[in-house]
Amino acid sequence: MVARVQRCKSLHMRRSLSILVMFLIVGGTPGEHGARHDPFPGRTASASSRLAASQERDVASLDNKLIGLTTACAMGGDVYISRDVYRPTNEIPCAAATYLHGAGINQTIIKPTSALSAALFSFTAASEGYKLSDLTIDMTDAPAQGAISLNHPIRPIFENVRIVYPSSGTGTALSAQNVRELHAREIIITNPGIGIDINGDGGAEHFYDSIVVESPATVGFRIRRTTTSDVGGYYLAAVKVTNPGNRNGQSFVFTSTVANTALPLFMVNCVGDNARGGDALSITNINLLQLTNNWFTNGAAEGANQASVSLSNVVQATFVNNHFQSNSRDVAVLGTSTSIFFDHNQFNGRAAHLYFDRVGVKSNIRAATSGNLFTGTLTNDFSQLDDSNDARPRLPFATPTGSSEICTPGQIWADATYVYVCVRSGSIKRVPLSNF
């Protein structure tokens, strides 16, 4: 029994020393990052001296810290990256589950050089335990490369991370495939080619909360599928894709190469604003969608025929309390789409609010005039709009207070006697109804 206890104590000491080695390789000052501190301040103790000799490098050197970071990522474990600017020239592969955390955004900065030829961080172990938090990744000198690549991790976590590209950036900030239950929150991405790119065939149940993507060149948030099976849902809350740089990108793209792909998607309080390189939200061959309290706008010119939301071959989609606005088409319903419901949404574009093409057969497309706000032309084709099993448009009875009531040009009222039309603000005209 005594020998067994001694062996256990010896194993515990070796593990503790291993953790200490990892911490000292990466660096840090006494007391930095909460309770974490160097157990041997000044490195005067014999254990610390032996460690320094065995590593044969100075932990105060940024180059050596990078060597230590790469080594630690390969080994896995808990790795603290102290406050400083780091300049890696190569990919940092994390082949074992690793918790990488810095001193905070704009405190710990990883800024790869132009020599980088692959994604900066790659997480590849099919296991739990990956986490990246509290740091900035600055891709200014490697604008075409990815920042983070995931393949096979289970339940990875990303929190309080900023990823910065130059105004002409084309790299993908975060890419993932074969990843089950990804958690990302409080992420800021600026000027990427693609902000977040997900290959969803190999796993889902992804959660995204408080994510900002600014001025993507191609798309802010994309999910791609090539199979029809339901492998899990996607839950987006407060994900905002904006375009202050007026780049020709899209906000959100959810697409599959095959029809009737089950992809349960829930979007709440999300924004896709000022898309100019295609529809702000584009959904193709996807089923099972619930979108509530979102904002989608498209800033392209009217002749571009871009929509704030495009639905192509979509089945079972519900939109509640959303804002749609485009210079061409607020919502485009394309191909063979069925069971699409609009309730209490605001359509605020300049042309057709609901645009229908003549491809495929559409059915059960409902947008009740009593439950949605339309500020202009309801649709280009009433024959394809099924509202309460009646394809004819409905106008609830209402009577303006008088001919000089403040109104919006084109606004229409009707009662049992007249149809009223606002010809300009403060001027309403009417025509009497008669039997025929």
**Partners of 77 in the β-ladder:** 98
Which residue's structure tokens are 């974490």? 36
Which residue's structure tokens are 């065939």? 201
Residue 70 has pLDDT above 90, yes or no: no
Q: What pLDDT does 83 receive?
A: 93
Residues 6 or more apart whose CB falls under 8 angstroms from that of 33 comprise: 80, 82, 101, 103
Q: What is the pLDDT of residues 326-370, one digit of tens each?
A: 999 999 999 999 999 999 999 999 888 999 998 988 889 988 777
Q: What pLDDT does 154 receive?
A: 96
Closest CA to 235 of 298, 287, 271, 184: 184
Q: What pLDDT does 64 receive?
A: 67
Residue 11 has pLDDT above 60, yes or no: no
Write the DSSP assignment of 13-62 as a string of letters. Answer: HHHHHHHHHHHHHH---TT-STT---SSGGG-SHHHHHHHHHHTS-TT-H
- Cα 130 to chain centroid distance, Å, stands at 20
Residue 297 has pLDDT above 70, yes or no: yes
Q: Which long-range contacts (CB under 8 A, 24 or more apart) does 396-401 make?
A: 396/369, 396/370, 400/428
Q: What confidence tier does 20 reach under pLDDT thresholds 50, 70, 90?
A: very low
Domain boundaries, the chain: 83-395, 396-436
- Average pLDDT of the segment spanning 65-83: 85
Q: What pLDDT does 67 receive?
A: 77
CA atoms in the 13 A half-sphere facing the CB of 229: 6
User: If 0-12 CB within 10 Å is exposed, 13-18 middle and 19+ buried, where does residue 44 land?
Assistant: exposed
Q: What is the pLDDT of residues 40-50, one digit of tens each?
A: 233 334 444 44
Containing 254, the helix (H) or strand (E) segment is strand 250-256
Q: What pLDDT does 377 receive?
A: 81
- Average pLDDT of the segment spanning 194-206: 93
Which residue's structure tokens are 């810290």? 65
Q: What pLDDT does 350 receive?
A: 83
Domain topology for 83-395: Pectate Lyase C-like (2.160.20)
Range name among 57-66, 72-81, 294-303, 316-325 with the lowest pLDDT average: 57-66
Whole-Å CA distances, 195 to 218, 250, 320? 9, 11, 26
Which residue's structure tokens are 């899209």? 250
Closest CA to 36 of 49, 27, 45: 27
Range name among 134-143, 337-346, 392-401, 408-417 with the lowest pLDDT average: 392-401
Residues 6 or more apart whose CB falls under 8 angstroms from that of 298 comprise: 274, 275, 276, 279, 280, 306, 307, 308, 325, 326, 327, 328
- Cα 342 to chain centroid distance, Å, stands at 23
User: 10 Å Cβ neighbour count for 6?
Assistant: 10
Closest CA to 232 of 267, 206, 260: 206
Q: What confidence tier does 209 reach under pLDDT thresholds 50, 70, 90?
A: very high
Exposed e or buried b per residue across 151-181, where buried means at least 16 C-beta atoms within 10 angstroms of its C-beta: bbbbbbbbbbbbbbbeeebbbbbbbbbbbbb
Residues 6 or more apart whose CB falls under 8 angstroms from that of 8 comprise: none
For the chain, what is the mean pLDDT? 85
Containing 73, the helix (H) or strand (E) segment is helix 62-75
